[in-house]
Amino acid sequence: MTPLPRTILDRIGNTSLVALRHILPANGARILLKLESENPTGSMKDRMALAMIEAAEADGRLKPGGTVVEYTGGSTGVSLSLVCAVKGYPLDIVTSDAFSQEKLDHMQLLGATLHIVESDSGRMTEKLTKDMIEQASIIAEAKGSFWTDQMRNRDQLAAYHRMADEIWEQTAGWIDGFVQSVGTAASLRGITERLRHHRDAIKTVAVEPAESAVLSGGPSGAHKIDGIGAGYVVPLWQEKTADEIERVSTEDAMAMAFRLAREEGLFAGTSTGANVVAALRLAEKLGPSSTIVTVMCDTGMKYLKTFGARLTADKHS
C-alpha cells in the first residue's frame, strides 16, 4: 500500500507531462506541457515556497514562533500562505490590486495578512514592483520577520533542479528545447541548469511580455500577464541561461490561454499562454523531429474574474 502523505505539502511536485494534441506547429514537432496546476494550490510556486521556507528553517533564519513576509503578484503568496498555514508561521503579504482577486482571496483564506499597494490602472509596472519590495522590507524590519525575498532568494533553485529531473525522466531524455516565462527568473534558471547537466545541447528560450521587454533590450512598460515581467532586469536573471528571448504580447498570451481551454481542455493562466506561443515559435525553428517542453504555470481558476470580464467584453465588441 502506498503510504499516506503526512501533510498536503507532501503532494508538491511529481506533476504530469502531457503532449498537446490540437495546438501544434505546422511542421509536426511535439510540444509537451508540464502540468504544474496539479500542485496543491494549482501553481508551480508551491515548489519554491516550500524550498525557501525549509532552507530557512534548516539554517536558523526562521525559528519556531517566527513570522514570514513577502511581496508577490499572487501565486508565490498563495503558495507561501499554504506552507505557512501548515507549518504555523504568521505571514504578511505585500501585493496589489493589479493582480487577480482570486489570488488575493485565496491568500486571505489560508490565513495571510495582506498589505495592498495601489497600481497604475491595474497594470504591472516597474514602479509597482519596487514599491511592493520597499513595503516588504519595512514590514520585515519592523516585525523582525524572515523575508523570503523571492527576487534574490537562491534557495528556490533546488526546487527547480528537482523539477528538471522530473522532466528528464518523463521524456526519457528526449528533449530538444525548453521554454519558460520570466518572473523572478528562478524557474528558467534552475530548470535550465539541471537539464543542461543532463544534456548540454538543449535549447532554452526565455519569454517576456512584449509590452515590457527589458530582458531583450526594450523599454520598461505596463502589461497584464500575471506573474512575469517585473519591468526591470531581475537579480536572478543570467544572460547565458537563455539561448533566445521571445516577446509575447498580453493579447497573444490571453488568446492562447483561451485556445488551450477550448481546444485542449487545459485551463491555464496568461503566463502559460505566453509559454505555448513561444514554444510554437521554437518548434518551427528546431524542425519536425524536435520535442519542446514548456510549463503550465498554474490553473486558470486563479483568473476566473479576469477571464470572465474578457469574455463579456468580447461579446459586446
Using CA atoms, how far residue 276 sits from 40, 103, 257, 283, in Å, is 23, 23, 9, 10
Q: Do residues 56 and 62 make contact, with C-beta atoms less than 8 angstroms apart?
A: yes
Active site residue 271: yes
Residues across the chain: 317
Residue from 216, 213, 250 nearest 229 by CA = 213
Catalogue the E-assigned strands of 133-257.
146-147, 177-181, 203-209, 244-248
Cell of 312: 463579456
Q: Give, in degrees to the nearest 5, the angle at Cα 30 between 29 and 36.
A: 150
Query: Cα–chain-centroid distance for residue 314?
Result: 27
C-alpha count within 13 angstroms, C-beta hemisphere, residue 240:
3
Query: Which entry of 34, 37, 43, 45 is annotated as an active-site residue?
Result: 45
Query: Is 100 known to be catalytic?
Result: no
Choose, from 75, 119, 187, 271, the residue flagged as catalytic. Answer: 271
| CA 100 – CA 113 distance, rounded (Å) | 16
CB 246 within 8 A of CB 232: no
The DSSP code sequence of 299-314 is: BGGGGHHHHHHHHHHH
Distance CA 186, CA 192 (A): 10
- Which amino acids are annotated catalytic? 45, 271
